[in-house]
Amino acid sequence: MNNDHISNQIRRLRFDHGEMTQQALADKVGVTRQTIIAIEAGKYAPSLPLAFRIARAFHASVENVFQYQDGEASSDAAVPAP
């Protein structure tokens, strides 16, 4: 069973960037508002190019926008950035 999960900070980033609407972000990255809604809700994982476009829209790294959990416990857990 695949327990992989990609979470994101898109909603928070939109509000941190002048309360950007989902439509404004969609227009900026070239997708529909429905796509942004699905990504934000965690119901759809974006392609790698789309993930980079979204990150660039916020002047952020992909890792600051998206977080990946593979569902397996790891002995070398990621250490949060300072």
The percent of the chain in helix, strand and coil, each rounded to the nearest 5, is 45, 10, 45
Q: What is the pLDDT of residue 75?
A: 45
Domain ranges of the chain: 5-69
Q: What is the pLDDT of residue 78?
A: 52
The whole-number average pLDDT for the span 24-32 is 98
- Note if the pTM is more than 0.85: no
Helix (H, G, I), strand (E, B) or coil at 32: coil
pLDDT in tens, 31-78: 999 999 999 999 999 999 999 999 999 999 999 999 998 876 554 445
Asked whether 6 and 67 are in contact (CB, 8 A), the reply is yes
Q: Fold for domain 5-69?
A: 434 Repressor (Amino-terminal Domain) (1.10.260)
Q: Around Cβ 66, how many Cβ atoms within 10 Å? A: 19
The whole-number average pLDDT for the span 22-33 is 98
